[in-house]
A and B are shown apart, each in its own frame.
Chain A
Amino acid sequence: MADNNIGAKRVVVGAHYGLRDWLAQRVTAVVMAVFTVVTLVLFLGASDFSYEGWAGLFAQQWFKILAFVTFLAMYYHVWVGIRDIWMDYIKPVGIRLTLQVFTILWLLGCAGWTVQILWRV
């Protein structure tokens, strides 16, 4: 078993055997969790629920960058998860590939919108 599954005889699947994505999913999840807690503490702690309080938070450069990195982590996380869904339920290769390409383009578009939102504040 161990020897007849290497080199040209290797069974090739499309998921890099999962380790890289598994790890990325975990790391990005932790980034989002940390951001969620930081934002809740800063926003609820300030108890300034006006526009000034909300926008003031995102107006600071360090918070903008933290939010930006978190959104990027989220989009990577979404990619891993949604690709899992396509791989589990969509068997025809053509449709699956189309959905995967659409997902990537869609998430890139959302990332662009995120940059616009964040750097307009």
Chain B
Amino acid sequence: MSDAAARKRFTNIHVTQIIRYRLPASGMVSILHRISGALMFLLLPFVLFLFDKSITSEISFEFFKGYVSHPLVKLAILALSWAYLHHFIAGIRHLVMDMHIGLSKHETVKSAWVVLIISGVLTLLVAMKLFGVI
């Protein structure tokens, strides 16, 4: 009880403080989980459009190939790829933590870094593949 009393009272930060506020890795993973989810929700019609074109017929498939060769479309697909990868891997971290594994402060920060690094590396690979580096 004295411990809780000694702790600084919880307050919400103002929205303009977000940029200057240093989040721990686990906080970064958490907010990026939400941002990546929101991004995929917003781009849902775009994803369905791409899926539709890619699969409906050989003619639409040719259109799809031409469409996704546009650099801006590639950027959108890259953003979606990052969102999916981050959401997927951060989600697995959640499922592991649901099983009461790795719940200490030290472990959650460590696993958060693992999420950030794996999703970062995989996104980099997707970027290289998309823009023809590999």
| Given A114-B48, A117-B56, residue A78 in contact with residue B41 (CB < 8 A) | yes
Q: Which residues of B contact A110 (CB under 8 A)?
A: 44-45, 48
Q: Which residues of A contact B94 (CB under 8 A)?
A: 26
26 inter-chain pairs at a CB distance below 8 angstroms, sorted by A residue, are A26-B94, A26-B98, A29-B91, A30-B95, A33-B88, A36-B88, A51-B58, A51-B61, A54-B54, A54-B55, A55-B55, A58-B55, A78-B40, A78-B41, A78-B44, A81-B37, A81-B41, A82-B38, A85-B34, A85-B37, A85-B38, A113-B52, A114-B48, A117-B55, A117-B56, A121-B55
Our count of residue pairs bridging A and B at CB distance below 8 angstroms stands at: 45
Interface residues on B, range: 20 to 34
Task: Please pick, from B34, B48, B98, the residue contacting A117 in the complex, using a CB distance under 8 A.
Answer: B48
Main DSSP-derived SS at the A contact region: helix
Q: Which residue of B lies closest to A114 (CB)?
A: B48
Main DSSP-derived SS at the B contact region: helix
A120 and B94 alpha carbons, distance in the complex (Å): 36
A54 and B56 alpha carbons, distance in the complex (Å): 10
Q: Which residues of B contact A121 (CB under 8 A)?
A: 55-56
A121 and B51 alpha carbons, distance in the complex (Å): 11
Min Cβ gap A82→B in Å is 6
B73 within 8 Å of A (CB atoms) = no
Most A CB within 10 A of own CB, among B55, B61, B91, B94: B55
